[in-house]
Amino acid sequence: MSTRARIALVAALSLPGCARSTATLGPGGDGWWTAGAGDPAAVTATEAAEARREGREDARGVAARRADVVRTAREFMGRPYKLGGTGVMGGGFDCSGLIQYAYLAHGLQLPRRSVEQARAGRPVGKDPGRLEPGDILTFANHGRGVTHVGMYVGEGRFIHSSSKGVRESVLSVDDPDGRWWLRRWVGVRRVLD
């Protein structure tokens, strides 16, 4: 089974009403990611934070895991926007579906909804100089709670799924589209540290 097919299966199992224990990923014996209950490599954002506090570190290194998560998200550039979309079976993504999918592909289970992803990991200040690839950027419309999420990819850019589909945008007052997002940017969450 291909990597995308395995991830699609896991994403389908992550839909509401499915048991959490069947919606994790872990390394299979063949070196590919497979679905399985209780696999030690499949952790929630809370479990990852606990591991950081206890000094347990992924042997591959945090920077490599961040790059892998960003690379996975970028594989879906141009994929159409779909409300509630998780990318299952080649379908479109909504904003939180893209972020969840990219992290899940690397063994980290994030909540499904943007408002819940805005509480995953730990908060990081909104200082563009402190952002790391893989950070979750949170956005709000008109003073409401979080309504959108994206993933920082480096060099002032972030990937997200909006009405125009999966694409990269720039956080900059000099970019018309980026200026719109910059005005709505409300926070940063770091899942990988």
Looking up tokens 């956005």 gives 139
Query: Which amino acid, 39?
Result: D
Between helices 95-104 and 62-74, what is the axis angle to 10°?
A: 130
Active-site choice (18, 106, 142, 160): 160
Please confirm, yes or no, whether 18 is among the known catalytic residues.
Answer: no
Active-site choice (18, 106, 142, 148): 148
DSSP annotation of 21 reads G
Active-site choice (18, 95, 106, 142): 95
Cα(first)–Cα(last) distance of the chain, in Å? 31
Query: 160 has which bridge partners?
Result: 167
Name the residues annotated as catalytic.
95, 148, 160
